[in-house]
Structure 1
Amino acid sequence: MSDSRPTALVTGASKGIGAAIAVQLAQDGFDIFLNYRSDHNQAERVAEQVKAAGASCALLPFDVTDGEAVEAQLAPLLDTPPFVLVNNAGFAADSLFGMMDDTSWTSVIDVHLNGFFNVTRTLLPRMMRKRKGRIINIASTAGQTGNPGQANYSAAKAGLIGATKSLAVEVAKRNILVNAVAPGFIETEMLEGLPVDEIKKRVPLGRFGKPEEVAYMVSFLCSDKAQYITGQTFSVNGGIFTS
């Protein structure tokens, strides 16, 4: 990592939205801490894109649900904490609620909410001592509206939005800004198996979003142009939901 460049930690960044965010922030002038759980080959490919943008990239393989692993991986790196934390790690395990098993419920809640807790709690005291920072939580339209078959995912993302609002109030006096970005249907592997033609008809813009379009919003929230914005949720959903 460079002493002259700010650093951003992006969780779940080996593919999809997380990868796009890591590359965009590298283009914006950030060095990258790139977290992923197990897909080392894909993480290496994203790291190459980050380096091609002129940034340094440290690969950090750990499971965000494992608090001890989070602390062990991050603590040695935090003498100078990242200016930006993007809590992006997540996945879906869809099922109608009446047929949902315990694992589908607890694992989704664990990654999205406990993962947010573990990583943010580790970084936050260092950010507070520095009296600066940005925390961006990747939520979802599902957390704003609910989706059939996604009670677990919707609950997790709604909880993340609530946590965003509370944390923003807690740390505002320390000049740490906390916001959420709520993507709609984005062209990632999470669309696999869904009736995409039918879903597109519900989107006013008539198409799915691209991961880069979510990354642009994160980029703005990490920039100097967003210094008076905190505690907010920004939808990137093609108009499928308006609040």
Structure 2
Amino acid sequence: MTTFNLYIGYRFVAHHEYPNIQLPIMSETNALKGKLALITGCSGGIGQASARSLARLGCSIAVHHSSSSSKPKADALVKELTELGVQAKPFQADLSTYPGADALYQQVISELGHPDILFSNHGATGKVIGPNGNIEDIPVEMFENIWRLNTGTSFRLAQLCIPHMEEQRWGRVIFTSSVAAGTGGVIGPHYASSKSALHGLVHWLSLRYAKSGITANAIAPALIEDTAMMSNPTPEIRAKIPIGRLGKPDEIASIVALCATNGYMTNKVIAADGGWTSGGF
């Protein structure tokens, strides 16, 4: 009788029929021990929840935040993470520019070392024109700025982090996309297109680096509470979610942990949207 490996809560319960096969033994305290995650946009709801989730798995965290106004949140999060027994430090950087991405990376490797996990979670909406807005309402300068922030510097950080991941033959690249990438969303064409561009990046990265032990995935949330983007959603926006409520940051963080601990899942865009879309995109 074949006994199969059972995976429960980040823990592999080893089977006994094939004792020569080495399987990872994971628990909530050691699955990512010795790893470092760079999480951008880490002062927001999804970033904070994901930092806590990975830290509980033993992962050290480079906490990125974007401005002096977000520094208190970043500092409080760092204190909380260090109390969990991992290394954590805050790093302020403007990721609307490529030099800002370069500076963040250099500061992180100088103070904590090379990231093993990149969770590129930063971004902004820009002007909100909604699904019934006019395309001429988005100046081309805004289009380029949103693309640089939402897509360009995510590409740049991956470009900087992957060589070390390839050298050690282990790495995780995770992007925060959006349901807007597959539906058009409720913001505008600049935002939706910047997020869909991340999907093409995931596909290329995963196919190119899978054999080097590097996975690449994107998470596409719909409307998540406790985030600046959805601080005051209208009833019409809420009504788009079949499950009847907004998502919670912890629900996205659990997918981040899955992407970080699972070495077999790559080249995926995971829609966490309360049923808005009927399948993957």
Distance 1:127 1:210 in 2: 30
* Residue pair 1:17, 1:211 contacting (<8 A) in 2 also: yes
Q: What TM-score, normalized by structure 2, do the two folds share? A: 0.79
Deviation readout 1:55-112 (Å, 9 max, x if unpaired): 2111111122333333334236448522211010101122232211234312211111
What residue in structure 2 maps to residue 209 of structure 1?
Answer: 247
Residues 1-243 of structure 1 mapped to structure 2, 5 A cutoff: 5-38=34-67, 39-75=70-106, 77-78=108-109, 80-93=113-126, 94-95=128-129, 96=133, 97-187=135-225, 188-195=227-234, 197-223=235-261, 226-243=262-279
* Secondary structure at the counterpart of residue 222 of structure 1: helix
Distance 2:45 2:256 in 1: 14
Amino acid at match of 2:94: D
* Secondary structure at the counterpart of residue 77 of structure 2: helix
Number of residue pairs the alignment of both structures matches: 237
Give the helix-richer structure, 1 or 2: 1
Specify whether residues 170 and 99 from structure 1 end up closer, same or farther in structure 2 by C-alpha distance, changes over 3 A only. Answer: same
Deviation readout 1:161-191 (Å, 9 max, x if unpaired): 1111111111111110001111011002211
Amino acid at match of 1:237: D
Alpha-carbon offset, residue 125 of structure 1 = 1.1
In structure 1, runs of 5+ residues without a counterpart are none
Alpha-carbon offset, residue 137 of structure 1 = 0.7
Distance 2:213 2:163 in 1: 13
Alpha-carbon offset, residue 148 of structure 1 = 4.7
* Secondary structure at the counterpart of residue 239 of structure 2: helix
Worse overlay, 145-154 or 169-178? 145-154
Amino acid at match of 2:58: G
In structure 2, runs of 5+ residues without a counterpart are 1-32
Larger radius of gyration: 2
Distance 1:98 1:71 in 2: 33
Specify whether residues 216 and 156 from structure 1 end up closer, same or farther in structure 2 by C-alpha distance, changes over 3 A only. Answer: same
Alpha-carbon offset, residue 47 of structure 1 = 1.4
Percent identity, aligned pairs only? 27
Specify whether residues 172 and 160 from structure 1 end up closer, same or farther in structure 2 by C-alpha distance, changes over 3 A only. Answer: same
Specify whether residues 192 and 216 from structure 1 end up closer, same or farther in structure 2 by C-alpha distance, changes over 3 A only. Answer: same
* Residue pair 1:177, 1:230 contacting (<8 A) in 2 also: yes
Specify whether residues 208 and 75 from structure 1 end up closer, same or farther in structure 2 by C-alpha distance, changes over 3 A only. Answer: same
Q: CA RMSD in A?
A: 1.7
Runs of 4+ in 1 over 4 A off after TM superposition: none
* Residue pair 2:180, 2:186 contacting (<8 A) in 1 also: no
* Secondary structure at the counterpart of residue 275 of structure 2: coil
Worse overlay, 125-134 or 94-103? 94-103
* Secondary structure at the counterpart of residue 178 of structure 1: strand
Alpha-carbon offset, residue 28 of structure 1 = 1.5
Specify whether residues 209 and 34 from structure 1 end up closer, same or farther in structure 2 by C-alpha distance, changes over 3 A only. Answer: same
* Residue pair 1:6, 1:82 contacting (<8 A) in 2 also: yes
